Amino acid sequence: MPWYVNGRLAPEELIRQEEALIARHPCWLQIPDEAERARAIRKTAERSAIDKVLIAQLAAADPRPIDPQLIAQHLPRFLSANGNGSFDAPTACKAIEQELRRERFIQEMTAAAPEPSAEEIEAVYQKNTHNFLGPERFHASHIVKHVTSEQTAEQPRSRHRRGPRRTGAWRAFPGSRTPPF
């Protein structure tokens, strides 16, 4: 069944990509029946695709311009990541602009969200330990923290807690972020 979001079709390719990403999460193994699991994954992928289409629509409706220099900075990486010649420069710039608009919209939408406390994080972890089944992937032998004279010791830590900046405009398919769970 095709999904329309404000008159725009949610592409089946996007739904399939979301399905592939979502299906890799170990939480789905708790559903023993394969047909039921596939239906649940499909339903979650459809919702995720709808969310992505809505975000793209809202971001595209923002009349504020994107800095042309910022687009130009992303262009070489975008073209090298899509080296098969499927994008000419104007098309690539349009794709980069759309991704930067989405990133700005998401950043602004989530900026006011409060930081969770350590207790809240621990509670979510304890409630969802089944989602953390994988073995430790990395072992840090040491951690170096550089603080410049202009920073306090807390500033680098607070930046780290906010998470990585979303700068994925160079990706071939801008909507390929990790699925929301």
Query: Is the Cβ–Cβ distance between 23 and 179 less than 8 Å?
Result: no
**How is the chain split into domains, by residue range?**
1-61, 64-129+164-176
Write down the pTM of the prediction.
0.63
For the record, the structure tokens of 32 come out as 């023993």
Using CB atoms within 10 Å of the CB of residue 3, give its burial: 0 to 12 exposed, 13 to 18 middle, 19+ buried.
middle
pLDDT per residue of the chain (181 residues) written in tens, 0 to 9: 778 888 888 899 999 999 999 999 888 888 999 999 999 999 999 999 999 999 999 999 999 999 999 999 999 888 888 777 778 888 999 999 999 999 999 999 999 999 999 999 999 999 988 777 666 677 777 777 776 766 665 665 554 455 444 444 433 334 434 333 3
